[in-house]
């Protein structure tokens, strides 16, 4: 791979998006790093699923495109990349160093193991259910659902369609746990379901959409809004399937 300033900018922005950064953050990072690398006339356009960068470098006018297909949320990585762009702006990091830092970050092990994540999924769901007023049994069932959804998320998901399917399956399973809880223990299905899927809510989409709308980045705002709608829709489709069965059997409350 080339070690030109432009490819460092492209890699930096792509890595930021893959860590769950909002498009505006990736744009700001590129503008900062571009200044630090001594590039002129840096033009950048970032959407949640891809980006374009143009600049005037040592060889004249250059431009590059990167497609981003896999997005997750890794705020630790996001923070490191953000600092990297600031270090580049100060001139502390050269483009090859920047590329090496990004590659090292991508190769770094995940900060929390599977056991920790499953536990965290359970605790987050149970505590959220508790917050919205669920009784202990419902909170416990929500924890079960939360842990399952995290297990589904942990699988390496390559294609967007596969992600949609994984979300729907998670929703379906959580719905099943909800109606089972309703049939066996008489708890409100909604408390269990809301707790179980809360760990998958489309992260920052909401505030990101508003921020982009206000700033006039309509394409990013629309894409982020659609992404949030798709995630919610996939979850809802799964939940609806099992809850509809529960309603038909008279088990759901």
Contacts with other proteins, residue ranges (CB under 8 A): 20, 22, 25, 32, 73-79, 82-83, 86, 89-90, 110-112, 116-117, 119-125, 127-128, 130-132, 150, 189-191, 193-195, 197-199, 201, 203-204, 206-207, 209-211, 214, 232, 236, 239-240, 243-244, 247, 252
Cβ closest to other proteins, residue 43 vs residue 207: 207
* The Cα angle at residue 172 between residues 148 and 244, in degrees rounded to 5: 150
Cβ closest to other proteins, residue 76 vs residue 96: 76
Give the chain's length. 253
* Minimum distance of other proteins from residue 243's CB (angstroms): 6
* The Cα angle at residue 118 between residues 173 and 71, in degrees rounded to 5: 80
Full DSSP string of 33-46: HHHHTT-EEEEEEE
> CA 90, 92, 96, 102 torsion: positive or negative?
negative
Cβ closest to other proteins, residue 64 vs residue 123: 123
Q: For residue 26, what are its two tokens?
A: 């990736």
Cβ closest to other proteins, residue 11 vs residue 31: 31
* Minimum distance of other proteins from residue 114's CB (angstroms): 12
Q: In the β-sheet with 50-57, what is the strand arrangement from edge to edge? A: 40-47, 50-57, 60-67
Cβ closest to other proteins, residue 96 vs residue 186: 186
* Minimum distance of other proteins from residue 229's CB (angstroms): 11
Cβ closest to other proteins, residue 99 vs residue 243: 243
> Residue 56's beta-bridge partner residues?
40, 61
Distances (CA, A) of 41 to 3, 37, 61, 217: 20, 12, 9, 20
* Minimum distance of other proteins from residue 118's CB (angstroms): 10
* Minimum distance of other proteins from residue 62's CB (angstroms): 25
Alpha helices in the chain, H assignment, sequence order? 5-18, 23-36, 75-90, 95-107, 114-131, 136-154, 160-185, 189-197, 205-215, 218-249
* Minimum distance of other proteins from residue 54's CB (angstroms): 21
């Amino acid at each position: 791979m080339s070690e030109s300033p432009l490819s460092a900018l492209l890699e930096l922005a792509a890595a930021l998006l893959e860590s769950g950064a909002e498009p505006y953050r990736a744009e700001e990072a590129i503008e900062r790093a571009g200044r630090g690398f001594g590039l002129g006339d840096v033009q950048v356009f970032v959407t949640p699923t891809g980006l374009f960068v143009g600049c005037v470098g040592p060889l004249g006018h250059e431009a590059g495109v990167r497609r981003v297909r896999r997005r997750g949320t890794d705020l630790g990585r996001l923070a490191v990349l953000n600092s990297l762009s600031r270090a580049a702006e100060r001139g502390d990091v050269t483009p090859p160093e920047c590329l090496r830092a990004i590659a090292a970050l991508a190769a770094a092990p995940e900060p929390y193991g599977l056991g920790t994540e499953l536990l965290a999924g359970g605790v987050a769901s149970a505590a959220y259910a508790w917050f919205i007023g669920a009784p202990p049994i419902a909170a416990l069932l929500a924890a079960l659902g939360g842990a399952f959804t995290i297990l589904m998320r942990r699988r390496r998901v390559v294609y967007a369609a596969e992600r949609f399917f994984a979300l729907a399956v998670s929703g379906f399973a959580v719905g099943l746990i909800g109606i089972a809880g309703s049939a066996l223990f008489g708890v409100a299905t909604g408390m269990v379901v809301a707790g179980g899927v809360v760990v998958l809510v489309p992260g920052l989409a909401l505030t990101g959409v508003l921020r982009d709308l206000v700033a006039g980045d309509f394409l990013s705002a629309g894409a982020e809004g659609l992404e949030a709608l798709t995630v919610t829709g996939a979850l809802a489709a799964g939940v609806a399937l099992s809850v509809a069965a529960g309603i038909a059997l008279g088990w759901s409350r």
